[in-house]
Amino acid sequence: MASALRAAILGHIRVPVVANGSKLLTPLWIRSMSSHDDHLEKTQVIDRILDIVKSFPKVDPSKVTPEVHFQKDLGLDSLDNVEIIMAIEEEFKLEIPDKEADKIDSCALAIEYVYNHPMAS
């Protein structure tokens, strides 16, 4: 008897579910708090990295382009390179392993690395 009542109530408030593919009906607002699939745009990455490099005190801001090499074109030291990479890590909340951080030598490499990193934000 209780189960019949329950079935009647459920039948009354049942929301009709369309058997269509669910992707079309998934409202966009459901995952608004999820950062699962939001990746940075490449232009954003380029702008932020260029800002970091330009605000470095030993760098001449007018020479900075997305393909510039830190030691050859900007005349920086290898220790300055380390400092720039640390600043990039702090900006994008990344943790770059030491061996890979050693290899990042130019703006182009840095942009590539940050853009392809899944956890860059």
Residues in contact with another protein by the rule CB under 8 A? 10, 13-15, 17, 78-79, 81-83, 85-86, 93-95, 98, 101-102, 119
Nearer to another protein, 44 or 121 (CB): 121
Q: 52, 69 in Cβ contact below 8 A?
A: no
Nearer to another protein, 81 or 106 (CB): 81
Minimal distance, residue 96 CB to another protein, in Å: 9
- Asked if 77 is an active-site residue, the reply is yes
- Out of 37, 77, 80, 98, the active site residue is 77
**How far is 21 from 11, CA to CA, in rounded Å?**
23
Dihedral, CA atoms, 31, 37, 41, 42, nearest 10 degrees? 180
Minimal distance, residue 93 CB to another protein, in Å: 6
Minimal distance, residue 86 CB to another protein, in Å: 6
Nearer to another protein, 14 or 23 (CB): 14
Buried b (16+ CB within 10 A) or exposed e, 67-101: ebebeeebebeeebbeebbeebeeebebebeeeeb
Annotated catalytic residues are 77
